[in-house]
């Protein structure tokens, strides 16, 4: 399913951050979001993922097809690597976690408690969760934070495989992932500042 964002305006803390932004994300394609710190990439991704409503405009074609990975890894510290993936597989109603363990080089860490992993290992496990969601549209906020060069390459390979299977990916990142992807710089869509009208329920 193609994700459409039409004339989208998004806000944080009741303040408009980006305005008038449109894009399409078709199956098999990736779109890289760029823009300086504070320009609104996270806010846009949260809106696309349905965590907050747009100020104006529409997002269509995402909904339950979206798997969202934010800055936090979303791991259960007292569960092992295997148990974490099995947990998420059961939440999303999928089964086989072996491809995810393999893709993110976690096979040697399966019995380790997630809370005892290094920052990069935690991030690999957090990203491996995407593969067990079974969802077609990956919406990813700075996915490579804490990853070394080899792990970035594993991540890029996982995204390529996902695209090859008809999935798609919307990724905010400051680094070059080496993907064949369109780039959307959000800077030109910065909103004109106006006093906040209302705060949001979930910060």
Ligand X SMILES: Nc1ncnc2c1ncn2[C@@H]1O[C@H](COP(=O)(O)OP(=O)(O)OP(=O)(O)O)[C@@H](O)[C@H]1O
Nearer of residues 40 and 167 to ligand X, judged by Cβ: 40
The CA distance from 32 to 140, in Å, is 10
| Beta carbons of 100 and 128 less than 8 angstroms apart | yes
Question: SS3 letters for 9-38?
Answer: EEEECCEEEEEEEEEEECCCCEEEEECCCC
Distance in Å, CB of 150 to ligand X, minimum: 24
Closest CB to ligand X among 179 and 191?
191
Answer yes or no whether residue 144 interacts with ligand X by CB under 6 A: no
Q: How many CA atoms lie within 13 A of 87 on its CB side?
A: 14
**Pattern 37-76, binding to ligand X, x per CB under 6 A?**
xxxxxxx---------------------------------
Interatomic CA distance for residues 149 and 151, integer angstroms: 5
Residue closer to ligand X by CB (options 42, 84) is 42
- 202 DSSP β-pair partners: none
Query: Quick one: 38 or 63, whose CB is closer to ligand X?
Result: 38
Q: By CB under 6 A, tell whether 173 contacts ligand X.
A: no
Supply the minimum distance, in Å, between the C-beta of residue 38 and ligand X.
Answer: 4
Q: Tell me if residue 141 falls in helix, strand or coil.
A: strand
**Interaction site with ligand X (CB under 6 A):** 12-13, 17, 35, 37-43, 203
């Amino acid at each position: 399913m193609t994700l459409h964002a039409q004339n989208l305006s998004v806000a944080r803390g009741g303040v408009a951050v980006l305005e008038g932004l449109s894009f399409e994300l078709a199956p098999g394609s990736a779109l890289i979001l760029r823009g300086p710190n504070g320009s609104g990439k996270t806010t846009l991704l949260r809106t696309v993922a349905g965590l907050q409503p747009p100020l104006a405009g529409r997002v269509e074609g995402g909904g339950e097809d979206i798997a969202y990975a934010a800055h936090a890894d979303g791991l259960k510290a007292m569960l092992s690597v295997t148990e974490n993936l099995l947990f998420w597989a059961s939440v999303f109603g999928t089964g086989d976690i072996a491809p995810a363990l393999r893709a993110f080089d976690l096979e040697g860490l399966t019995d380790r408690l997630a809370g005892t992993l290094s920052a990069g290992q935690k991030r690999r496990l957090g990203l491996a969760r995407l593969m067990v969601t079974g969802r077609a549209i990956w919406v990813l906020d700075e996915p490579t934070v804490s990853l070394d060069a080899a792990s970035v390459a594993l991540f890029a390979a996982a995204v390529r495989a996902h695209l090859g299977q008809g999935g798609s990916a919307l990724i905010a990142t400051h680094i070059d992932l080496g993907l064949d992807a369109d780039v959307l710089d959000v800077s030109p869509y910065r909103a004109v500042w106006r006093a906040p009208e209302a705060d949001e329920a979930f910060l």
